Structure 1
């Protein structure tokens, strides 16, 4: 039975592709017309060939290269296409996971920035009790004596360490004052930290236990020993006992201000 022949523009329109694409498919041997008029060079396609083109369009749409498609069509084996589709599906699942992680990071930053935009000078140096669930951080101690420049450099070391582990966190970061410095002085007992996701297991990570924390917003840069001592004194005067290191979370940094004096952090100290 003779099937109707379709011109190249008709086939292109049916499949929402261009004539130029069909000509290229012909050139590389991927999808050839059944007949080419020797006089006018018109290409004609048989109806029975159209399902093949539909398959090409579909496979290309889900991410297969033209050479991969040609290999599948040349061999037409169940196992070959099942393996190819399984491999492609695994790639897509990994991409979805990566996109989901990016989405979660953006959501976290959005919520964080929406919260911090309401902070101002009236909120500073007013200690308050907050309850936190368990959290994770990774920190490194400063190699030199504590200063805001050294804290910034140490934070870069923290980021570099995570990148070497093929990890990157968009979560909160800040300064850590080690508890041992309460008596001996913080100059050699400070460092930088970054919060990390619970799903990561990193050697030398630190768990911030759930419980009651005395918190206080402060202005200034990444390192302010006077503000820490002010809060420690308030804690002592109000009958609390310090049972953790001291964490200073940066809330408003150079993303929103060019002045160190206008930066705002929140000091958090676990107590009982």
Structure 2
């Protein structure tokens, strides 16, 4: 009935909303009862007010805060609606980018953890030949002093990423100009590389992949990684391959993920070609 009033409990029951929310709406000036009993303080709502609840729910669903709804609910111009809705669309698009960035970051890190688990559980330490898909990475050339932790959790590189307004994801990859110099303790220059989430300018990027490599996982600390390099060298010689000078270390799990160096997983990649 048009003149019928509904108690706050009945409104909650009909509209599937809590009394606490209705009281808060009243406090915020969003939805006030039509009548408040003098003695009991009970709140009563008309059918017209009742119908405001689905509208409020839809505004909330659309991302509007209670403060932003006030003018909409009181009635305003289409021009005001237009400007307000355009602003909200822009805000939500920015929020969508931020959420997608976070999802991508977590997913890529999770993928590395799963990869490391599979490598360790199955003791995958055999040398293999495989093709590396081409991808675009950002990079920074640096000095190298065999301090792996400083190179992998790299403050200078992270500051650089901040300076170009980007975000990184996936494994850290380090390129060593000469793997023989590297394993002999003579390497003093490296190129640290990682994938960016946002588009990167061409002059700030480098192509990685598009070639065949001899690859082998190394399980454990980086101090013993030369053993895996030696394994790759011996395998390639006995299988008719020639190793190129550059090598890459792809850090699947490392200091970013665990303090237990025995659980570190590093993939070593060396470009190869067949002996003629």
Give the TM-score range, shorter chain: 0.7 to 0.9
Do the aligned partners of 1:218 and 1:264 also contact (CA within 8 Å) in 2? yes
Q: How far apart, in 2, do the equivalents of 1:100 and 1:78 lie?
A: 32
What's the secondary structure of 1:187's corresponding residue?
coil
What's the secondary structure of 1:249's corresponding residue?
strand
- Correspondences of 1:3-22 after superposition (within 5 Å): 3-22=3-22
Q: How far apart, in 2, do the equivalents of 1:232 and 1:222 lie?
A: 18
* The structure with more strand, counted as a fraction of residues: 2
Distance 1:9 1:138, change over 3 A: same
**TM-superposed deviation, 1:6:** 2.2
How many residue pairs get aligned? The number is: 268
- Correspondences of 1:145-224 after superposition (within 5 Å): 145-148=145-148, 151-152=151-152, 155-179=154-178, 187-191=186-190, 193-197=192-196, 200-202=199-201, 203-219=203-219, 221-222=221-222
Q: How far apart, in 1, do the equivalents of 2:19 and 2:179 lie?
A: 75
Alignment-derived partner of residue 259 in structure 1: 261
1:50 aligns with 2:50: yes
Q: How far apart, in 1, do the equivalents of 2:150 and 2:32 lie?
A: 67
Q: Which runs of 5+ in 2 are unaligned?
A: none
**TM-superposed deviation, 1:77:** 2.0
Alignment-derived partner of residue 82 in structure 1: 82
- Correspondences of 1:34-49 after superposition (within 5 Å): 34-38=34-38, 40-49=40-49
Structure 2-normalised TM-score?
A: 0.75
Instruction: Calculate the aligned-residue CA RMSD, in Å.
Output: 3.7
Q: Which runs of 5+ in 1 are unaligned?
A: none
What's the secondary structure of 1:49's corresponding residue?
helix
Structure 1-normalised TM-score?
A: 0.76
CA deviations over 1:27-53 (Å, ceiling 9, x no partner): 443323333444554433322332233
Distance 1:252 1:26, change over 3 A: closer
Distance 1:30 1:234, change over 3 A: closer
**TM-superposed deviation, 1:176:** 1.9
Q: How far apart, in 1, do the equivalents of 2:8 and 2:128 lie?
A: 75
What's the secondary structure of 2:168's corresponding residue?
coil
**TM-superposed deviation, 1:246:** 1.5
Distance 1:27 1:264, change over 3 A: closer
What's the secondary structure of 1:45's corresponding residue?
strand
Do the aligned partners of 2:129 and 2:214 also contact (CA within 8 Å) in 1? yes
**TM-superposed deviation, 1:70:** 0.9
Alignment-derived partner of residue 269 in structure 1: 270
What's the secondary structure of 1:117's corresponding residue?
helix
Do the aligned partners of 1:178 and 1:189 also contact (CA within 8 Å) in 2? no
